[in-house]
Amino acid sequence: MSIEFYKKVPKDLAGNLAYRAMLRRRAEKDEGFQRAMCEASRLDVLFFFNSHGWLYEPRTRRGSDGRILPKVIPFITWGHQDLAILEINKNLGLKDIGIEKSRGEGASWMSVWFAIRDFVFDPMTNIGLVSKDEDSADNPDNPDSLMWKICWGLDQLPPWMRPATERKVATHTLVNKENGSVITAFAATGDVASGGRKKWFLMDELAKFKRGPDA
């Protein structure tokens, strides 16, 4: 898998923001460049994350210059995240992947952007999001829920990359109306998604899942 596009992306905050702005300006009236950006994002996961991914961070933080950082920031991956992202991308949907980590390592947001990438660029993809309860999996009014993060992330994409979608809160589904991909959110119950088929599942906050009677 190529990471040639990613090598061109600045990793400092000011440089990264300027690079993103340049890409969007160039793509505004150039459909060929839009298609090239979509293809680069499909082929190079690190390019997609670092040139089009964003994070919502509500906690108050200061930058290296002492200034308060904004709550919406570009997803600029750390070096150790790069290694994890490439390894996950190589195995996603093919075998179980366990991530042992401390808090603040960005695993949930990495998973969210993997889901967005497949949802946008891989037709007929079917993804499951599982969290400890229904509210954590899907609550359109709760920024901590997985599906809120997915929908918010999609909204940050440029219009020419963002597909038409249908959001069904009652069934906790998000449908890509252009390529047939679907994301479904589940609470961690004993029969979660029983009988269904998915390309891959995200099991978020696994340590907080309720143990069954056979545990």
pLDDT digits (tens, 9 = 90+) for 90-140: 887 656 666 665 455 577 899 999 999 999 999 999 999 988 888 889 999
Q: Are 181 and 123 in contact (CB under 8 A)?
A: yes
Q: Does residue 149 contact residue 112 with C-beta atoms inside 8 Å?
A: yes
Q: For position 63, what pLDDT does the model report?
A: 74
The candidate with the shortest Cα–Cα distance to 74, out of 105, 46, 53, is 53
- Amino acid 215: pLDDT: 47
CA dist 206 and 204 (Å) reads 5
